[in-house]
């Protein structure tokens, strides 16, 4: 029983270390966020669906087949892994989110995430 408990804690520890390493790696590859660029790209590409503060309440949100995601919740501090979010923005999602590959870069999306957090009172 003690051996099983030790193995369990070891696996959990490795998972936590891996997660921390992934977050640190992503922060390194995307670099410092440019909130001004994030604002510009957000206004051009996201505002109409996601609203002023990214809460899914944009001007056309009610007319869409699927309610736009609340970006503030999606980008919040409880979800620090950026690669999945960036992939969703660039690739799009069936039934709602259009693909922005070729319109936005990975760094643009990273900047947009920072801008939305700032708009909601969170600092980058």
pLDDT digits (tens, 9 = 90+) for 24-62: 555 566 678 899 999 999 999 999 999 999 999 999 999
Angstrom distance (rounded) from CA 68 to CA 43: 15
Mean pLDDT of the chain: 81
Query: Apex CA 108: angle with CA 92 and CA 67, to 5°?
Result: 35
Q: What is the pLDDT of residue 80?
A: 60
Kindly indicate the confidence band of residue 12, based on its pLDDT and cuts at 50, 70 and 90.
low
pLDDT exceeds cutoff 60 at 113? yes
pLDDT tens, position by position, 75-100:
775 556 788 888 889 999 887 889 99
Q: The pTM is what?
A: 0.74
What is residue 122's DSSP assignment? Answer: -
Q: Which of 3-7, 24-28, 62-66 is predicted least confidently?
A: 24-28
C-alpha–C-alpha distance, residues 25 and 117, integer Å: 20
Q: Which two tokens stand for residue 69?
A: 């995601």
């Amino acid at each position: 029983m003690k051996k099983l408990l030790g193995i369990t804690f070891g696996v959990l520890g490795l998972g936590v270390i891996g997660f921390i390493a992934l977050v640190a790696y992503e922060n390194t590859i995307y670099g410092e966020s440019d909130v001004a660029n994030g604002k510009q790209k957000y206004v051009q590409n996201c505002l109409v669906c996601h609203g002023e503060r990214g809460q899914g309440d944009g001007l056309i949100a009610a007319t869409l087949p699927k309610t736009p995601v609340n970006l503030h919740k999606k980008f919040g501090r409880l979800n620090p892994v950026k690669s999945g979010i960036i992939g969703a923005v660039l690739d799009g999602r069936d039934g709602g989110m259009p693909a922005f590959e070729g319109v936005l870069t990975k760094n643009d999306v990273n900047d947009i995430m920072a801008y939305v957090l700032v708009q909601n009172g969170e600092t980058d």
